Amino acid sequence: MDYVFSNLLGAPYRGGTLLIQDNELLTPVGNRVGQVNLVESTSKCLPYENLTQIRVLCVSPDGALLLSIDADGRALLINRKRQALLSHFSFGAPVACARFSPEGRYVAVAVGRLVQVKVFQQSSGSCFVTFAEHTAPVSALAFLPSGHALLSASLDGTVRAWDLVRYRNFRTLTAPAAVQFGSLAVDPGGEVVVAGTVDTFQPRSTAA
């Protein structure tokens, strides 16, 4: 990690999600969430603590809600504007990634070890649908702008589209070659899906 960037995050940073929201950098600081104001160059930690090291952070589209998930899958739902703890619950297993739905009512999480995508109501933490068709850990999630479908990328080399009305896998995308997908993005119109792989390559000189 770059020395200057690591200093910005602070000595307690030990990995996990980094987010930029409303000119603030949100970062795990042990079992707390650190906030770095990128305009005023000030930093502080939210006054709430997960039980173990935070691994995943997720912010609602309007920036009001923050979900912090620790290494054991326990979560805190925080109102960022009021800095108030709204609820706490457990996803039951370590979480690889999480995303709020466009309207902020639901949270999709990838439980990597179980190869499952679960969708929860953010207000209660109750799961209402589980998708388990992936055959390797899920690495990234993205909702379509309508909120009626969810995409998941996996190390099994597929990107799957899930219908959140009929609760089914209605499309599976693959690459021409065998790859492992590690990232996922959808354009604002919901028409273009981009998935990035975790493959590595060794640069070689073309000089004679």
CATH number at 138 reads 2.130.10.10
Task: Note whether 71 and 36 are same-domain residues.
Answer: yes
Co-location of 105 and 192 in the same domain: yes
Amino acid at 134: H
Q: 4: how many CB neighbours lie within 10 A of its CB?
A: 7
Same domain, 185 and 108: yes
Count the domains in the chain. Answer: 2
Give pLDDT tens digits for 155-207.
999 999 999 999 999 999 999 988 999 999 999 999 999 999 987 655 555 55
Residue 4 domain-assigned (yes or no):
no
116: confidence class by pLDDT, cuts 50, 70, 90: confident
Assigned domain for 204 exists: no
User: DSSP class of residue 62?
Assistant: T
What's the chain's average pLDDT?
Answer: 87
pTM: 0.83
* Domain, as residue range, for 35: 12-90
Residues 148 and 60 in one domain: no
The token duo for 62 is 């309007």
Contact 68, 54 (CB under 8 A): yes
Please check whether residues 47 and 117 belong to one and the same domain.
no
Q: Which residue is it, tokens 């054991």?
A: 72
Q: Which helix (H) or strand (E) holds 7?
A: helix 3-9
Residue 73's nearest CA partner among 49, 52, 104, 94 is 94
Q: What CATH number did the domain enclosing 75 receive? A: 2.40.10.480
> How far does CA 37 lie from the centroid of its chain?
21
Edge-to-edge strands, sheet with 84-90: 54-59, 65-70, 74-79, 84-90
Do the domain assignments include residue 104?
yes
Looking at the fold, whether 81 and 112 belong to one and the same domain comes out as no
Q: Place 208 in a pLDDT band, splitting at 50, 70 and 90.
A: very low
pLDDT in tens, 21-71: 989 999 999 999 999 999 998 999 999 999 999 999 999 999 999 999 999
